[in-house]
Amino acid sequence: MNAVLSRLRGRLSGGALLLVFAALFVYPIVRLLLLPWWPALGPAGGVGLHGPAAGLPLVAIGNTLRLGLASALLAVPLGVACGWLLERRRWRGSAALTLTLWLVFLTPSYLLTTGWQIVFSLPVLHHGILATLFFGQAGIVALLALKGLPFACLAARSSWRVIGSEIVDAARLHVASARRRAAVLLRLLLPAAGSAFAVVFIESIQEFGIPATLGAQIHLPIVTYAIYRRLATTPVDFANAALLSWTLIALAAAAATVHLYLGTRYGGALVHGRQRAMIPVACNRAENAVAAAGSTLLLLFGVAVPGAAIVRAALAHVDAAAAIPVPWDSLLYSTAYAAVGALLAASLALLLIARQQRARGAAAHALDLLTLGNMAIPGLVLGAAYVIAFNSRLLPLYGTPALLVIAYVAAQVPMLIRFLQAPMRQVHGSLSDAARLHGLPWLTRAADIHAPLLVSPFLWGWIMAFGQVFFELPVSELLYPAGGAPIGVAIVTLNQSLRYTEEARLALAGIGLSLLVAAAVAAALRFAALPRMTKEIAL
């Protein structure tokens, strides 16, 4: 009887977790996507439903498709070249190139755009050819490609790493032409290039920070910003916002289909029992010069120049009569939102992973598909879904800090699940079984067995989620409560008003505060681990 009750309690708790995740993700998304054909799903009995085809901006869809393709076509070859340089060549600048790619990846897109806007607002550059190109579609393509380059490089590095020396030796033996040997290697890289193209294209069409800053300044219609405008202006147009969300999902699905086709048509197993690792060789003089020049340009254009422009703008003098107050309170709001949201997201991720490890068959696959599906949904679409789903009499959460934190949790849980799966799988179930066999209660097992083993990955996951939420923009733009704007919203508002000095000061303060919080948590984690390390050494 006790065993039956225990199994029933386990199933009920697992079902409750799935219901919580479904309420956070499945219900809002399904309600948004069905809204154009089922007006009753809209808030307030269908207010803001203007008909399925009214005002659908085909120009914005065309611009989004063209910008996404152009940025992917620019980023993928550069990413393949960077991957080759990092995996197949040995040179002094590899660590600097890796660090630069990480900095480009971690820098919020709207801060990167702001830095270049400040640069080209200087009188000496404002009326030049480069400024004309930047304040146009070429500038947006360049910024999108720059943000997509780390993804392309990561995909290319994995394929360069598994192409062993036996393949290169066989190509030298059987293929006389150097050009044809290069074509053989490029064909082996085609699945990785397709994956990189799909990822960069999807990231580009789902990008919101660049359209909300540079795109809004040059008045270029783009789908993500068009969705935001339909939800942030009066009258609210929920139906067409939902239709535009469908276009983003359809374009992402098309890119994923191309990626799957390339992987099926040209893919193959490259890791086998006779594989020999390809030892990196030193760059020759020409390769060294090209690599140094390319890495320097990436460091300058991706990090140094926009970063220096932001610092210079922050130090600039502003006339007291013309200055506007910097919304310093947004730092406190973002810190509170990020701390609570990251804590809840990391906790829910651990519970879902534990449930997934106990589940079997269809239940485990369903949970895995749900988390993957959540990762594929843009933050702006998730925010739009929350506007509709929680703006009703049944769930009147819209306009409250609680809904913003809930949206942050829903957006961060899939990433944290992927991050925490490996540490959770390393904790063998026999530890808990032995403790249960000896009569230890659940709270004691959690505090004395699981917590010491999982506290380190949990806190690192919290730091990752904190950094992501602190500067998050699309969800914040749609869901922030009145009088409690996060720092991302405050920065973009200052950017759209061309208040670069105030914006730069707020951005630098936000970067410093987020790094300080992350460093404090990392230091506390290291300090807590010292007594345990000392005890182990003594034993």
Cα–Cα distance measured from residue 424 to residue 443, given in angstroms and rounded to the nearest whole number: 18
Q: Are residues 504 and 464 in the same domain?
A: yes
Residue ranges making up the domain that contains 435: 333-538
Q: Are residues 296 and 360 in the same domain?
A: no
Cα–Cα distance measured from residue 225 to residue 477, given in angstroms and rounded to the nearest whole number: 11
- Report residue 58 CA to chain centroid gap: 27
Q: Which of 478, 450, 505, 521 is nearest to 231 (CA)?
A: 478
Instruction: Please report whether residue 320 resides in a domain.
Output: no
Cis peptide before 235 (omega within 30 of 0): yes
Instruction: Please report whether residue 509 resides in a domain.
Output: yes
Number of domains in the chain: 2
The more confident residue out of 507 and 16 is 507
Among 28-37, 102-111, 308-317, the least confident range: 28-37
**Per-residue model confidence as pLDDT tens digits over 403-451:** 999 999 988 887 788 777 766 665 555 556 565 665 666 555 555 555 5
Residue where the block lists tokens 């890119």: 255
Half-sphere exposure of 97 (CA within 13 A, CB side): 26
Instruction: Please report whether residue 394 resides in a domain.
Output: yes
Instruction: Please report whether residue 481 resides in a domain.
Output: yes
- Report residue 382 CA to chain centroid gap: 14
Q: Are residues 260 and 409 in the same domain?
A: no
Q: Are residues 294 and 349 in the same domain?
A: no
Q: Are residues 302 and 338 in the same domain?
A: no
pLDDT score recorded for residue 470: 92
Q: Are residues 431 and 527 in the same domain?
A: yes
Instruction: Please report whether residue 305 resides in a domain.
Output: yes
Phi, psi of 396 (to 5 degrees): -85, 65
Please say whether the beta carbons of 309 and 119 come within 8 A: yes
Instruction: Please report whether residue 28 resides in a domain.
Output: no
Highest mean pLDDT among 10-14, 451-455, 487-491: 487-491
Cα–Cα distance measured from residue 504 to residue 500, given in angstroms and rounded to the nearest whole number: 6
Cα–Cα distance measured from residue 145 to residue 302, given in angstroms and rounded to the nearest whole number: 11
**Per-residue model confidence as pLDDT tens digits over 130-161:** 889 999 999 999 999 999 998 888 878 777 77
Instruction: Please report whether residue 23 resides in a domain.
Output: no
Q: Are residues 344 and 294 in the same domain?
A: no
Tokens for 427?
């904790």
Q: Are residues 279 and 341 in the same domain?
A: no
- The mean of the pLDDT values for the chain is 78
Q: Are residues 172 and 278 in the same domain?
A: yes
Radius of gyration of the chain (CA): 25
Cα–Cα distance measured from residue 57 to residue 215, given in angstroms and rounded to the nearest whole number: 15
- Residue finishing a domain among 246, 281, 315: 315
The predicted model scores a pTM of: 0.80
The more confident residue out of 261 and 124 is 124
Q: Are residues 157 and 253 in the same domain?
A: yes
Instruction: Please report whether residue 30 resides in a domain.
Output: no
Q: Are residues 430 and 521 in the same domain?
A: yes
**Per-residue model confidence as pLDDT tens digits over 29-85:** 888 888 878 877 666 544 444 444 445 688 889 999 999 999 999 999 999 888 888
Domain of 351, CATH number, reads: 1.10.3720.10
Q: Are residues 307 and 368 in the same domain?
A: no
What three-state secondary structure class fits 453? helix
Angle at 510 between CA 504 and CA 516, to 5 degrees: 135
